[in-house]
Structure 1
Amino acid sequence: MRSNVSSLKEDPTPRPVTITPELAEDLLSRTAVNRRLDMGVVDFLAETIRRGEWQLTHQGIALDGPLESGSLVDGQHRLYAIIKADTAVRIFVFEGLSRSAFSVLDTGKRRSGADALSQTGEKYVTLFSSTIRHVILFKTVPELPWSGIRARVTNDRTLKEYNANTERYRDSIAVGRNLSKQIFTTPTAAAAGYFLTTEAAPFAPVEEWIDGLVSGANLKAGDPRLALLKVPRDPRRRGTKKRFDSKEQMAIYIKAWNSWVENEAVVNLRLKKGEKMPIPIELKRANGTSERRSEI
């Protein structure tokens, strides 16, 4: 039976090409149809290129004719990113794509970090993905909003972080799920907070910290763990009806941890207006024991 699929000669022809910043500028000068430029997307892709995370995939650029003379139909954000990163990358170029195809480009669902982690066999891939994302954002853009295109984390970066710290993330997920039942934070905020604080202070008596939060028994007034337990489940920003987001929940968790490590008495845990994200206190081992002082 004869196929009704177009012959290969009539189809757009893809081929991998090294696109330099100079070639990117030339191609952009031949733009035929394109969406409005989103500089957030450009910045995100440029950072991906700078970090060496760019990979050759089927997603490339498309022209309505040959590379040397065709007009650009799709791929302007990738080309602007190449220019901004000032780095050449390998990318598939589709030559001979009809301009009428523009209306159906990029209409599919973008794969999430959880989708990328599904291949690992982990049970809580969504929680793994969100925890890893929060850890990366804490380390890279602690003072910027953690929403929007500028806060996107590539799936490749998520997988690399997971593979580099698999066991620590597994432990953090287990602790985060448990602590979220005791304190006001989400499992993501608790897991990310636990990961970051124990990374900074690997020799701190973590079991003592966790036991105090889980049982709440015999905690003296001023103990930061008691203050953390007393933060209401539905905390609101002062003067608003908006709840604390996961970034702010992490900040409160880290503040409590820092005070506990430093033996500082705390009665009420709160975030001041404009307060920066606290940095977990580093606690190194000294003479075979933790440097943390005696209990409050």
Structure 2
Amino acid sequence: MSDALVRLKKETSPGAVPSSITSHNSALDKVSDPKLEIKKEATAPNGLYGVSYSLPAPSPGLNNITFPMSIDEGLQRKTGKDAGIYYAMMFGLNDDSGKPLGRGYIGLQPRGDGKALVVFSGHGPHFKAPQGRAEFDGEKGASNSTLVDFKFGHKYNLTIVRDLEDPQKLSAYIQDVTDPNNPGPKQHVKDLYVDRKVALAGRDTGFVEHYGAKINKSSQIAPTTGSFSAPFTTDDKGAVKVGEINSSGLYGRYKNSIVGTQQITKDSGVGKEIHFSLKGVGYEKKA
């Protein structure tokens, strides 16, 4: 089972935070003296770092969610044989009675030549992707991908919208919002369809994941730096509501051989942005 599927099946809830405006820096490594780690078997993908988020949501759920993120440095996958790093936010779906129906993710995979692949996928038999593939990480589901222009250090909004005229249709978009006064065009990332009426759940998780080429050493995990900001939703009257985001730390089979830092910015005790920086112990850049 892939690390993405493990995260799909693991519930994470935000922890309590102090009631003050803070910006807290801390180390990410979970052991006092992290060392190079070598496994007997090479695997892919491999989870690295996780977050959780929540948004106030009426029953049965939300019409839209926007996930702001930026990637300052990361591994670019240039061919199908290469490794890459995936930065994604999970989303949950409720049926029209408010009961959980399924989950999926939307995220960015940096590629070569100023491009990134936006992946928009749903796990389980309820999803279909007419313009994509009928699978999710080798299991039942549906997956779309769209290649877009991309620059390290830019801030992007990844948005999922439930179609108000067809509540079985989910559309995804990406927009460069580095300059909030002059945002880039909103690009469509194809659509997912569900076999019944749905709404978006108000809480889930996100992750940074090493994928593609299989690895068996922590030294094969290249440095990456970026940030996840609290998601927001817009109601039918145009009012914007911003949620919260919190760190769930390192995870996966290299969690004790990854080093890095995180800076969590909170507003009135609520997590608003997490800036992370990490790499595998022993990493040496290839010539």
Which category describes the TM-score, using the shorter chain as reference length? Answer: under 0.3
Normalised to the residue count of structure 2, the TM-score between the two structures is 0.24
Larger Rg: 1
Normalised to the residue count of structure 1, the TM-score between the two structures is 0.23
- Richer in strand (by share): 2
- Relative contact order (C-alpha < 8 Å, sep 6+): which is higher? 2
- Richer in helix (by share): 1
